[in-house]
Amino acid sequence: MTRTVRLGIIGLGAQGQMYATFIAEGRVPGMTIGAIADTDPAKLEAAQARFPDVPRYADHLSMMESGDVDAVITCVPHYLHPEMAIDALERELHVLVEKPAGVYSSQVARMNEIAAGRPHLRFAVMFNQRNNPLYQRIKQIVDAGEIGRIIRSNWIITTWWRPQGYYEQSAWRATWGGEGGGVLVNQAPHQLDLWQWICGVPASVFAKVSYGLQRDIAVEDEVTVLADFGGGATGVFVTATHDLVGTDRLEIQGDAGKIVVDGSTTAVVTRLNSPERELSDGMGIDDVRRLFMGELDASTLYTQETIEFPSGWGEQHVGVLANFAASILDDTPLIAPGADGMMGVRLANAIHLSSWTGREVPLDFDDGEFLRLLNDRIADEGLYPVRQASA
């Protein structure tokens, strides 16, 4: 018999339904739906109609202990990701955690600790943009030093306009106690992950964040971040959920070239023929005059390449699911190891902490201070209990 991974889907909301459909359609090699768990009877009833042969459970623990699944994916509110991942790991199940890995770093640290103690289990995070061939190629170019040392990176990512009704579809959305934040924990985790994956982890951040600027919500819907990467390298990250005609543009400036990405589908890569400082030092006033007058042959300075990797909807998610199955069955390296989820969570935490305190915050900030200030907001909201230091 062909070996397959029986995946347990926890939560049959939009994401859970999407993954179930991909698997049921046979788009994920090596994977079948083992079972579905949801606390909402209506969703279980819908699952019965759509996936009649798949076992259904009213809670995740019953599913985990049923023997019907080899692995799980956590399609639930963000605070529950580490908690349910730990439940699965302790029951000897492989885990694919949805993004973000959690809301605050101390709960993610506990999850990572449990996973590290079970190296025979596969532990991954759904960073599907790492499976985007465009960003994979960009990372290769940067890692190979083709644009030299990174001096500056800027990302404007405002392509996820959300009307007020989006936030009102679920009581936990856009709350400190239910979701743990706004655009930083819901829409932007993929870009926060890619930013540090490609350009390196910032040493510190200073952030200006607006809470409920254009929407009737308590959490952030507009974010501007200045990052210090050390060694003179800086970065800017801008994101929002109220730009009806949004922008997705990433620029990475090196001392020997530049990469400009538009729409996460096309990149223009400029490679200087010599490092920029050498080109500068080697130019006489005659060269400068010809440059200003548009008479200098650009090919003597640089070459340019346009890279395009269009991909169909869902292909990157399917790729992560297939990679997860292949890792379990054949030890294929994971595209996004679960422990990597910590980096994006710490970056989002540092941005929040900077906005709350009005100071520049290092990425090795005090976990306790962040959780205390988060709990202050949860308590003021009065909708959910405050959070503990670990899941």
Ordered by start, the domain boundaries in the chain are 5-129+314-337, 130-310+344-381
Q: Is the pLDDT assigned to residue 391 strictly greater than 70? A: no
Tell me which fold the domain 5-129+314-337 belongs to: Rossmann fold (3.40.50)
**CATH class of domain segment(s) 130-310+344-381:** alpha beta
Q: Is the pLDDT assigned to residue 176 strictly greater than 50? A: yes
> What does residue 235 show for φ and ψ, rounded to 5 degrees?
-155, 155
> What does residue 16 show for φ and ψ, rounded to 5 degrees?
-60, -40
Q: Is the pLDDT assigned to residue 372 strictly greater than 90? A: yes
Least trusted range by pLDDT, from 26-35, 214-223, 306-315, 355-364 = 306-315
Residue 36 near residue 8 (C-beta atoms within 8 A): yes
Tokens found for residue 232? 């003179």
Q: What is the pLDDT of residues 99-110, one digit of tens each?
A: 999 999 999 999
What single-letter amino acid sits at 293?
M
Compute the average pLDDT of residues 193-198.
Answer: 98
The percentage of the chain sitting over the pLDDT mark of 90, rounded to a whole number, equals: 91
Output 36-43 pairs: Cβ under 8 A, ≥24 positions apart: 36/8, 36/9, 36/12, 36/63, 37/8, 37/9, 37/10, 37/11, 37/62, 37/63, 38/10, 38/11, 38/12, 40/12, 43/12, 43/13
Whose tokens are 């223009």? That residue is 268
Residue-averaged pLDDT of the chain: 96
Tokens found for residue 237? 């990250």
Compute the average pLDDT of residues 359-372.
Answer: 97
Compute the average pLDDT of residues 36-41.
Answer: 97
Secondary structure E strands in the chain: 5-10, 31-37, 56-57, 71-74, 94-97, 123-125, 150-157, 204-211, 220-230, 233-240, 248-254, 257-262, 266-272, 302-308, 361-362
170/162 Cα distance (integer angstroms) = 14
226/214 Cα distance (integer angstroms) = 22
251/171 Cα distance (integer angstroms) = 37
Residue 131 near residue 319 (C-beta atoms within 8 A): yes
Compute the average pLDDT of residues 373-378.
Answer: 98
Q: What is the pLDDT of residues 211-225, one digit of tens each?
A: 999 999 999 999 999
Same CATH fold assignment for domains 5-129+314-337 and 130-310+344-381: no
